């Protein structure tokens, strides 16, 4: 399941984050790449121990904790603190699949990467190239979202970032361990939840709403892993 989460950050917070990223000190992104990925990765990242990365990451997670669309789609159990990258001057990241498990820096915790997320801090007209290319069972998808919008996609997906040939592409990226491990089950729950929300507006007094809500929670109870 691929899904756009709109307006993760309000305009003021988005502007503050963007200004901070423009003034930040960046390091070679290959420092955090695995043995295979290091040959495909050519970008800049904020250091994992950067106080700025921690501050901006907390702002993103706080916003997502109140975003109903993210909560309904990802069903988050644990989240890897957001990281930040910068692409320019031909920078790219070739085909790769994200690690299955990530360690949380400075802690003994490990998180399974069920859902990958990319939050854009640059508008599409600010740069050329830099498309996030994600492959799934329906083919390859080319994604360039407005600043403040985020893409969710399965952590199992083969994906890449095409070369940025003009301007600068800023983004945050992170992973979520979901209460529901299987992507197909999360997609089914989201579709059911969307239908329940629509019926609640159209026929708020229908007794069938209670039954459907019960079906949703019984499926979640059956599939959830805590």
The annotation places the binding site for 2-oxoglutarate at 169
The torsion defined by the Cα of 204, 208, 212 and 213, in degrees rounded to 10, comes to 50
Separation of alpha carbons 62 and 16, rounded Å: 15
Binding-site positions read 96, 98, 159, 169
Separation of alpha carbons 42 and 39, rounded Å: 8
Say if residues 52 and 153 touch (Cβ distance below 8 Å). Answer: no
In angstroms, how far is CA 206 from the centroid of its own chain? 35
Binding-site positions for Fe cation read 96, 98, 159
DSSP string for residues in 86-147? EEETT-EEEEE---SEEEPTTSS-EEE-SEEEEEE-S-GGGEEE--EEEEETTEEEEE---T
Strands 44-45 and 101-103: what pairing? unpaired
Location of structure tokens 């929300």 = 197
């Amino acid at each position: 399941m691929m899904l756009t989460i709109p307006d993760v950050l309000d305009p003021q917070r988005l502007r503050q984050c963007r200004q901070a990223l423009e003034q930040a000190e960046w390091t070679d992104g290959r420092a955090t790449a695995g043995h295979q990925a290091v040959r495909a990765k050519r970008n800049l990242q904020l250091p994992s121990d950067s106080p700025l990365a921690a501050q901006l990451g907390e702002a993103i997670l706080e916003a997502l904790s109140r975003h109903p669309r993210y909560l309904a789609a990802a069903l988050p159990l644990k989240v890897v603190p957001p990281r930040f990258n910068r692409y320019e001057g031909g920078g790219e990241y070739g085909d790769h699949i994200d690690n299955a498990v990530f360690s949380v820096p400075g802690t003994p915790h490990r998180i399974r990467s069920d859902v990958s997320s990319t939050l854009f801090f640059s508008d599409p007209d600010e740069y050329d190239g830099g498309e996030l290319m994600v492959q799934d069972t329906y083919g390859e998808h080319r994604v360039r979202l407005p600043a403040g919008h985020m893409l969710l996609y399965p952590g199992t997906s083969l994906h890449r970032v095409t070369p940025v040939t003009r301007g600068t592409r800023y983004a945050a990226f992170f992973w979520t361990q979901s209460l529901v491990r299987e992507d197909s089950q999360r997609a089914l729950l989201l579709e059911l939840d969307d239908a329940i929300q629509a019926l609640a507006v159209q026929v708020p007094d229908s007794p069938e709403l209670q039954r459907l809500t019960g079906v949703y929670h019984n499926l979640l109870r059956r599939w959830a892993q805590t």
